[in-house]
């Protein structure tokens, strides 16, 4: 028996509103090599980290409030922190280098 297949026009709106692309009937797990290729192209690396349960629950609540997953939220927060952390490291080492330069200049004057 041949069932008539209902065709849905492939428009941007159909993809955006979920008419297309959201059917569990047609969903499949991507092969491992495809997942690796996608992660590689995005510059992503999977890690394992142990965190307190209450911290994870807090992230889940915050993420739900913002309508996102907790792991993408954690990634976003880490990405926001890294540049400021790097600036702090650079500032610390710049100050240390300036101290060394100052001491060297004093030694040269004393010599």
Burial class for 63, CB neighbours closer than 10 Å (0-12, 13-18, 19+): middle
How would you write the pLDDT of the chain (111 residues) with one tens digit per residue? Answer: 566 767 777 788 888 888 887 888 878 888 999 988 888 888 888 899 999 999 999 999 999 999 999 999 999 999 999 999 999 999 999 999 999 999 999 999 888
The pLDDT of residue 2 is 61
Q: What are the structural domain ranges in the chain?
A: 12-110
The pLDDT of residue 38 is 86
Nearest-10 Cα torsion for 12, 14, 16, 21: -110
How far apart are the C-alpha atoms of 43 and 27, rounded to whole Å? 25
The pLDDT of residue 82 is 96
């Amino acid at each position: 028996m041949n069932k008539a297949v209902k065709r849905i026009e492939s428009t941007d709106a159909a993809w955006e509103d979920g008419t297309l692309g959201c059917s569990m009937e047609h969903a499949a797990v991507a092969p491992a090599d495809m997942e690796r290729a996608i992660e590689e192209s995005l510059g992503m690396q999977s890690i394992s980290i142990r965190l307190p349960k209450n911290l994870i629950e807090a992230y889940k609540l915050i993420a739900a409030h913002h309508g996102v997953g907790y792991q993408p939220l954690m990634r976003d927060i880490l990405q926001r922190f890294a540049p400021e952390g790097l600036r702090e490291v650079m500032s610390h080492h710049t100050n240390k280098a300036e101290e060394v330069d100052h001491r060297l200049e004093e030694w040269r004057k004393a010599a």
